Structures are given as C-alpha cells and as structure tokens.
C-alpha cells in the first residue's frame, strides 16, 4: 500500500486533496481512476458473491446427505421417467424387485400417484425408491434432480403416447416427446450419467411395405407421435456419436397386460378414453362404462379387414429393459424391436377379450381412424440373439385375463388420495 500524505492545496470550496510531490491535475486524474477501479472491483466482487450464493442455494450431491446422492458400489441407481404411468410403473416394480435403487420423476399428467404408493408399499426400506413430482419440460427442475442425485442410468418412459391425439395436437407431441428428451439428454451429459434406455415405438416405422419389421426397416413415420419419437431417437444417436454414452433404444410394439401378481395395472385418465388403446376400450366395454367397442376400419388389406398388430405383454417388455440395461456398454448403441413376432387382428383381439372377461362385448364397425396403418408386426430375432430375450407371455387371452383381474379389482383405477408419505418428495417450483 502506498503511504498517503494528504494536504489541502485548494480553497475549501474546491474540496480536492493532493498527494505530496505530484502535480494537481495528474493527481486528480489518478484519483478518479482509483475510484473507478475500486468501484469496478466492488461490482465484480458483488457479482461473484451473488453467483456463489445462488449456486450454493441449489443442492449438489456433495452437500446432500441423501443416500440417493451417492454412488454405491454394486448398486445401480436408475432414474425412471414416467414411472407413475403404465409401463414405467411396471418397470420400476421389476427394477426394485431386482434390487436396483429407483428414482421416479413424473408430472402425473397421465400417470397415477396410486401406482407410486403401491411401489412404496412394496419397497418401504430407506434408499430403495424416491419420487419427484416434476415436469421434464422444466429444465431447471430436471437439472436440480440430476444435481441432487447420483444416477447410474436413465430409463426414459415419460411421454404422451396416443397416435390419434398426436394428429390433433402435434405441437404437444413434439414438445413433450422430442424437446423433453433433449432436456433429459442435456442433464445426463452435464451430470455424467452414462447409460440411457429409451422407450421408442414401432410407430417410427410408419407403414412399411414388407413384414415383419426388422431394425433395418426404413423409418418413415406417418403421424406426429411416430415422427416425434423418431426425432428423439435421432437426437440421441447424434449425441452418442461423440460421447461414450451407452444407448439402448427399444421400439415397442403394442403393449398389453399387467403385473401377474395384481399389484399394478393400466389406468389411463377417463378423458383419454376416446384416444385410448384397444385393451382399455375392451375392458371399458366389458365393464359397461361404454356401450360397446368401436372398431375403426374394416377395409384394410388384411385377412379379416381389420388392423393387425403385434401385442407384447408388459411383463416381457420390462424384462427386455432389464436385459438391455444389463447389456448396455459405453460407446455401444443397441436398437431393438420388442414384440412377439406374431400379428393378431383387431377381430381376433376382441374375441380373446370376450373370453378373458366373460362378457359378450358389443362391436360397432366404423371408418378408418386418421394416422392408423394396416399391418404391423415385428421380427424380434435381433433382441432374441443379442440380449437373450424372448417373449414368454404370448397367450393373448391369458394376458388380457390378468389385466382384466386388476381392472375388476380397481374399478376406479388407482383410487385418488391426498395422503403422501415422507418418502414422496414434491419439488417446489423455482
């Protein structure tokens, strides 16, 4: 520090101060410069301090004491997005049963808190399961979840997933599926999470000319749902080219059935019934919730004129996820169809449903639905060979019987409840 000897060199009104032995104007200039420098340093100091305060107010794994915030040797912590939904909840159940640590993120827009409660009741031990109520479109919330938790892998199920709805609300689909996948992927990259199992769909193939569909079949989706999923796949694949992320993309065919032990089921919101899937409509008709089934399209180029689909039981599907997770390796991309390899017509499905439920369901035949395709079934040989996975629950009637049992026991789906245990962590908006 320079010693300062201050003397008055001007009348009092001038109110200036001089340093001994220097010219007044130079002294004044340097004085102003000094003040400016000090102000500048003060501003920088304030900015840095504010930034530090802000970052410290956001929890980081180092500061958090939750067991979920530490990697534990021998324990794989999986983030299940959309885990309150139909497939995500079944996947979480299987992961928990297989001793994985599970964090579920869901905005409950379509899923059920009741499914989370069932999982929590099944696995109440600390450090097994936690739930975050958050929207994947909220990048801040997603980043905070990644900052607070030490994930080893992500199973990304969360999505809006109705073909018909996607033709009516395409922007919603691109946003929810494509843009949100980008948010998840960016968070994974930022927080070093190296394994992604992505829920894709046979809708990305569109209406191929040759059946069965292999993974090499060109992807030419014909509706916004399929297009949004294809775009999300492309984003993931482009990103993985310059990263060591392990990526498994599973393209599901039509998912049916429910947990054989009756703990979980499929319980879409009533307002989605009109967009719903065939099994839900079938059960609603059997329960008398709707007067009958509306089969859309009887003039397709198929044996009985109705659409042909490949129905995969949810228990087999989640098994494919666990096998994919097990076989996921850094720098490796695996793309697999998950189906039975066998197509069944809508008419066959309805007959199986009548037998499974014991009700004579009334059927009304209508014109085609926009965005639907005639015939879709998979060639599952790649997943059979590479992941050692085979569909085992291939008896359509039996899968429907299991699902029907759950439906009968849960006529209002997962009943709503205001109760939330301390394990449920609701994220505040920030």
Active site residues: 225
The three-state DSSP-derived secondary structure of the chain is CCCCCEEECCCCCCCCEEECCCCHHHHHHHHHHHHHHHHHHHHHHHHHHHHHHHHHHCCCCCCCCCHHHCCCCCCCEEEEECCCCHHHHHHHHHHHHCCCEEEEEECCCCCCHHHHHHHHHHCCCCCCEEEEECCCCCHHHHHHHHHHCCCCEEEECCCCCCHHHHHHCHHHHHHHHHHHHHHHHHHHHHCCCCEEEEEEEHHHHECCCCCCECCCCCCECCCHHHHHHHHHHHHHHHHHHCCCCEEEEEEECEEECCCCCCCCCCCCCHHHHHHCCHHHHHHHHHHCCCCCEEEECCCCCCCCCCCEECEEEHHHHHHHHHHHHHHCCCCCEEEEEECCCCCEEHHHHHHHHHHHHCCCCCEEEECCCCCCCCECCECCHHHHHHHCCCCCCCCHHHHHHHHHHHHHHCECECCCCCCCCCCEEECCCC
For the bound state, the minimum distance from the C-beta of residue 269 to ligand NAD, rounded and expressed in Å, comes to: 9
Contact residue for ligand NAD among 166, 167, 180, 340 (CB under 6 A):
180
The minimum distance between CB 292 and ligand NAD, in angstroms, equals 22
Q: Does 181 bind ligand NAD (CB under 6 A)?
A: no
- Stretch of 11-19, 27-35, 50-58, 102-110 contacting ligand NAD, by CB under 6 A: 102-110
Residues numbered 234 to 253 that lie near ligand NAD (CB under 6 A) are 252
**Contact between 161 and ligand NAD per CB under 6 A:** yes
| Closest to ligand NAD by CB, 60 or 109 | 109
Distance CA 313, CA 392 (A): 8
Q: How far is the CB of 152 from ligand NAD (least distance, A)?
A: 20
With b for 16 or more beta-carbon neighbours within 10 A and e for fewer, the 192-201 pattern comes to ebbbbbbbbb
Residue 157 beta carbon to ligand NAD: minimum distance, rounded to whole angstroms: 4
In whole angstroms, the minimum distance from the beta carbon of 189 to ligand NAD comes to 19
323-382 residues near ligand NAD, rule: CB under 6 A: none
Segment contacting ligand NAD (CB under 6 A): 1-9, 79-87, 237-245, 344-352? Answer: 79-87
CA distance 182 to 175: 10
Q: Exposed, middle or buried: residue 6 (CB in 10 Å: 0-12, 13-18, 19+)?
A: exposed
414 binds ligand NAD (CB under 6 A): no
Residues 275-314 that bind ligand NAD (CB under 6 A): 277
Residue 407 touching ligand NAD (CB under 6 A): no
- Which of 249, 255, 353, 400 is close enough to bind ligand NAD by CB under 6 A? 255
135 binds ligand NAD (CB under 6 A): yes
Give the integer Cα–Cα distance in Å for 320 and 386. Answer: 11
Could you say which of 158, 187, 325, 387 contacts ligand NAD (CB under 6 A)?
158
Residues 197 to 216 in contact with ligand NAD, rule: CB under 6 A: 199, 201
Closest CB 106 distance from ligand NAD, rounded Å:
4
Among 4-12, 108-116, 326-334, 398-406, the segment contacting ligand NAD (CB under 6 A): 108-116
Of the residues 78, 87, 285, 352, which one makes contact with ligand NAD according to CB under 6 A? 87
From 416, 86, 89, select the one nearest 268 (Cα to Cα). Answer: 86
A 10 A CB-CB count for 424 gives 17
Segment lying near ligand NAD (by CB under 6 A), choices 28-36, 156-164, 165-173, 361-369: 156-164
For residue 164, state whether it binds ligand NAD (rule: CB under 6 A).
no
Q: How many residues contact ligand NAD, by CB under 6 A?
A: 28
- Of 19 and 113, which CB lies nearer to ligand NAD in the complex structure? 113
Are the beta carbons of 222 and 205 closer than 8 angstroms? Answer: no
CB of residue 70 vs ligand NAD: minimum separation in angstroms?
25
Q: Verify binding: residue 84, ligand NAD, rule CB under 6 A.
A: yes
Residue 427 is a binding residue for ligand NAD (CB under 6 A): no
Interface with ligand NAD, residue 187, by CB under 6 A: no
Report the residue from 144, 204, 240, 254 that binds ligand NAD according to the rule CB under 6 A: 254
- Closest CB to ligand NAD among residues 151, 157: 157
Which residues form the interface with ligand NAD (CB under 6 A)?
A: 82, 84-88, 106-111, 135-137, 157-161, 176, 180, 199, 201, 252, 254-255, 277
């Amino acid at each position: 520090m320079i010693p300062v000897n201050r003397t008055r060199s001007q009348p009092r009104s001038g109110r200036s101060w001089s340093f001994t032995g220097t010219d007044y104007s130079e002294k004044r200039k340097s004085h102003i410069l000094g003040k400016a420098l000090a102000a500048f340093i003060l501003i920088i100091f304030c900015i840095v301090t504010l930034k530090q305060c802000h970052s410290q107010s956001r929890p980081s794994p180092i500061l958090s004491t939750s067991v979920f915030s530490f990697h534990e040797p021998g324990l794989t912590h999986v983030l299940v997005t959309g885990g309150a939904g139909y497939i995500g909840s079944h996947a979480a159940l299987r992961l928990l049963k297989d001793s994985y640590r599970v964090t579920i993120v869901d905005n409950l827009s379509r899923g059920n808190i009741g499914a989370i409660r069932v999982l929590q009741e099944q696995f109440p031990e600390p450090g097994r399961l936690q739930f975050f109520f958050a929207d994947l479109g909220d990048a801040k919330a997603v980043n905070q979840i990644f900052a607070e938790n030490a994930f080893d892998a992500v199973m990304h199920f969360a999505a809006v997933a109705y073909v018909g709805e996607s033709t009516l609300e395409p922007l919603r689909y691109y946003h929810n599926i494509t843009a949100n996948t980008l948010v998840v992927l960016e968070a994974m990259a930022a927080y070093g999470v190296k394994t992604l199992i992505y829920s894709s769909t046979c809708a990305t193939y569109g209406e191929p000319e040759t059946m069965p569909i292999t993974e090499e079949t060109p992807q030419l989706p014909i509706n916004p749902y399929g297009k949004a999923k294809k775009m999300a796949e492309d984003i993931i694949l482009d990103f993985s080219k310059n990263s060591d992320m392990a990526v498994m993309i599973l393209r599901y065919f039509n998912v049916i059935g429910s947990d054989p032990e009756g703990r979980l089921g499929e319980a879409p919101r009533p307002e989605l019934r009109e967009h719903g899937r065939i099994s839900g409509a079938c059960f609603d008709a059997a329960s008398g919730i709707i007067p009958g089934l509306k089969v859309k399209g009887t003039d397709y180029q198929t044996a009985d004129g109705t659409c042909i689909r490949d129905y995969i039981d949810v228990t087999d599907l989640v098994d494919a996820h666990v096998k994919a997770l097990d076989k996921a390796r850094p720098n490796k991309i695996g793309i697999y169809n998950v189906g039975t390899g066998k197509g069944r017509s809508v008419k066959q499905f309805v007959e199986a449903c009548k037998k499974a439920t014991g009700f004579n369901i009334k059927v009304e035949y209508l014109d085609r639905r926009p965005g639907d395709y005639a015939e879709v079934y998979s060639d599952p040989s790649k997943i059979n060979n590479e992941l050692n996975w085979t569909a085992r629950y291939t008896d359509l009637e039996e899968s429907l019987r299991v699902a029907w049992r759950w439906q009968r026991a849960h006529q209002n789906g997962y009943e709503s409840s205001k109760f939330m245990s301390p394990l449920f962590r609701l994220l505040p908006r920030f």
